Amino acid sequence: MPPLISVTHAYRRLFTLPGTRAFTTGNLLARLPMGMFSVSAVVMIAGSRGSYALAGAVTATGLAATALAGPWIARLVDRHGQARVAVPATLTSALGSLALLLCVRCGAPDWTLFAAYAVTAVTPNIGGLSRARWAHLLRDDAGALHTANSFEQAADELCFMFGPVLASFLTGTLFPEAGTLVGVVLLLAGMLLFAAQRATEPPPQARSRTRSPLRSPGIPPLLVCFTATGAVFGSTEVVTIAYADAQGHRAAAGVILALQAAGSCAAGLAYGALKPAGLRLGHCLAGMAVLMTLPWVAAEVAGSLWLLAGALLVAGMATAPTMVTAMTLVQRRTSADRLNEGMSLMVTGLLTGIACGSATGGWATEHLSPTLAYAAPTTAAVLALGLATLTRADGTAA
């Protein structure tokens, strides 16, 4: 069977299961704003208060709050069910976004911006909810579950590729608050549609008697790897923006980063359909470490912005296979009654790594140079590989 037909057949087979198309549609609608809110908040706050430092501090506070609240929300989801927890949590988050908008619009004190944006941290891990449904539906079909996990990773990449673009278009074309307003509408509509699909929802567990995912064998090493991998993403974003700005084309940074996400999306879809046998997390991390040298070489040797874009496109192809393999291991090593909590912990590690990577990339850009700063994501990728090897976090992909 030709590769393209094989890929199409693998994903078409997933969506023959009753209810999967409906919950996936709702999940994608709700997930798209995750790539919109931070960009919209920065534009809205910086435009009104004239301070990117304040805007960055507010969004960083939201990120930190999400890292703290995420596992707690996920634990409630495991105990009481997705619909009973996710819907009120999403409504609360939407109110936080609207409160931020009103505080900015009405010139409220700066501290109110931090408080309002912190409320949005109760947004459920929407991708995790969808992965939990696939894990429930495909619990007896490891091959199909691998394909579903790959689809979910590709969906993440698409949402974080198009979300910032949509937010930038809305805030620039209409008015600064437009990105936040549209994001809230999409989030609410998508979550309500997703939660309405009760037939595919995993059954709640009244009270788990199993150990915390943090105490499950193999989970702490994976958490460390997720954190190091997040540092790759965070540092790459900051350094790329700085490099494009130094070349006099800062507006091109979004397109270049979107190409990196596009490479990851394409690789994720192919990886899910082809199911390469024997591929382990260590192999994926090694591939990421090697490919992350390409942007550094392109920036250092060629000095061409568009050659850098091609290098990031290729480097991005290691992202989805790495994340899919790691998340599959999380699903295997976490008990079914705490699956949402386990996946949320990994997202917490990823967010922590992104924050650390952003800080490191910013420091390297300021104290070294935008070109040499590409050593930061390369070093983070090598660190992730080294940690996976030392902690024995490795495992097969399928």
Cα four-point dihedral sign 154, 308, 253, 380: positive
The correct answer on CATH 1.20.1250.20 for the domain covering 210-398 is yes
Q: What's the pLDDT score for residue 90?
A: 94
Q: Shortest CA distance to 125 belongs to which of 115, 117, 133?
A: 133
- Evaluate whether 110 touches 372 at the Cβ level (below 8 Å): no
Entry pTM: 0.75
Q: Rounded to whole angstroms, how far apart are CA atoms 155 and 72?
A: 24
- Evaluate whether 279 touches 325 at the Cβ level (below 8 Å): yes
Which pair of structure tokens corresponds to residue 286?
């090694």
Q: What's the pLDDT score for residue 393?
A: 63
* Cα separation values, 316 from 124, 233, 266, 326, Å: 26, 10, 9, 16
Q: Shortest CA distance to 153 belongs to which of 383, 343, 355?
A: 343
Tokens 């199409």 — which residue? 8
Burial string for 168-186 (b: 16+ CB within 10 Å, else e) reads: bebbeeeebbbbbbbbbeb
φ/ψ of 396, rounded to 5, equals: -75, 155
Q: What's the pLDDT score for residue 1?
A: 46
| Each residue's pLDDT tens digit, 288-302 | 999 999 998 888 877
Q: Shortest CA distance to 291 belongs to which of 385, 364, 369, 370?
A: 385
Which pair of structure tokens corresponds to residue 176?
């600064």
CATH 1.20.1250.20 placement within the chain: 19-207, 210-398
Report DSSP letters for 198-262, one per residue: GGGSPPP-SS--SPPGGGSTTHHHHHHHHHHHHHHHHHHHHHHHHHHHHTT-GGGHHHHHHHHHH
Burial string for 9-47 (b: 16+ CB within 10 Å, else e) reads: ebbeebeeeeebeebbebbbbbbbbbbbbbbbbbbbbbe
DSSP state of 50: S
Q: Shortest CA distance to 75 belongs to which of 210, 224, 229, 198?
A: 210
Query: Which residues have C-beta within 8 Å of that of residue 131, sequence separation ≥ 6?
Result: 148, 149, 152, 327, 331, 343
Cα four-point dihedral sign 52, 251, 357, 132: positive
- Please name the fold of domain 19-207: Growth Hormone; Chain: A; (1.20.1250)
Which pair of structure tokens corresponds to residue 84?
């009973």
Q: Mean pLDDT for each consecutive 10-residue tract of the chain (398 residues)?
A: 57 82 91 82 80 75 81 84 91 94 90 91 87 85 81 80 78 84 94 90 71 72 86 83 76 76 82 71 88 89 82 88 83 75 80 80 81 89 87 56
